[in-house]
Amino acid sequence: MKKTLISTLTTLGLALGATGASAYTIDLSYPYLTYGNTNSYSMPVSAYYYDQANGGGTGPGNPYYIASGPGQIMDGVVIYTGSGGQNVTTNAAGFDNAYETPNGSSPVFANFAGTGATQPNTAGKDITNNLSTTWDANLTYLKNFLDGDTALFLFNNNDTNADQSLAIWAKMWITNGTNDVYNGQYLYLTNRGLVYGAGGVPFGNATTYNGGNVTSPLTGYGSSDYVLSGGQLNANGETFNHNLGANQVAYAADVPLLNMWLNTLFSLSDAALSQYTMHLDVRLGCDTPANWVSGVDNQGNPITCSNVKIDNGYEQLFLVKNDWTNRVPEPESLVLLGIGLLGLSTLGRRRNRAAKI
């Protein structure tokens, strides 16, 4: 049945995910696109595959429909949210509290350096080298949180009906007690300077990309480090909506090198590990508006700041423990092209179904 289903789609973006009391199961053996050091997966396509094989629809009850309202994400570590409530904007010791996302269409851009997203209070977090421009986590606490599983990032896209796309870029690294960068390398979600909306390597090797220390990602359509997030994918008569709002996960992101590094570092004693910190820099929306007037999308529509900006706010990003262990793609899935986390490689005009908040 799976081979039949896979052969009917000409695009991919497949991730199988199921929520549990304290862990998620996102099937990382399925197709993905690689953006720099990040492998990206689509939740809506996964729900479709599961429904075709097992029935029951693609909504609640489908194990790949991942609810992410305030009550559903309390088992995760919330990095970025517009939702309020206990254990949503406030994380346990060892993890920075969540950055608060913009609510509404202003500003059109947000980052963790204080533009758009509200910085959390870092007092009492017990994090070495806690930076004011990143979201940070102490690795001893992260080890205890993951409890033998791997780290996975989940994202909600929450744009409007007028335009459902967003531009996003992310950077991650680990430092020790003397602020040395672990392995001298930074990890990225990046379009690698390609045309915005393109890029992404089907079944790429996310462990090979080394972009150096990028402090100012390329902005614009013709040459961009920003990855396309959101919108609808039309394939073989099916429409897969990824602008699902603040209460349903659209994308999953796996960073293989991060998990490889964590596996090595977690062998240290807790005292030694406590000196290590994971830093995350996320930028979302229309950075440098003038640079976006430089091309058209695959439907001939101009790409401007209005096509990539924050239109609605309330996007969410959170970290969960993933207990999936098989990371080898199934051979029959290798024939597919792809969509992925925070990006679609084949994109029509995205005019249907506004996100609800």
Tens digit of each residue's pLDDT (9 = 90 or more) over 166-201: 899 999 999 999 999 999 999 999 999 998 888 899
Count CB neighbours of 189 within 10 A.
Answer: 28
Phi, psi torsion values for 67, nearest 5 degrees: -70, 140
182 neighbors 172 (Cβ within 8 angstroms): no
Band (332; pLDDT cuts 50, 70, 90): very low
| Whether residue 2 has pLDDT greater than 60 | no
CA distance 73 to 70: 6
42 neighbors 242 (Cβ within 8 angstroms): yes
| 86-90 mean pLDDT | 69
The DSSP element (H or E) to which 181 belongs, if any, is none
Please indicate whether residue 122 or residue 335 has the higher confidence score (pLDDT): 122
Please indicate whether residue 302 or residue 127 has the higher confidence score (pLDDT): 127
239 neighbors 300 (Cβ within 8 angstroms): no
CA distance 187 to 180: 15
Block residue for tokens 């960073």: 255
Band (302; pLDDT cuts 50, 70, 90): confident
| Whether residue 138 has pLDDT greater than 60 | yes
CA distance 167 to 189: 11
The model's pTM is 0.84
**Hey, CA dihedral for 45, 9, 230, 214, is it positive or negative?**
positive
* Digit-coded pLDDT (tens) for 17-70: 333 336 777 777 666 889 999 998 888 877 787 788 789 998 888 777 888 776
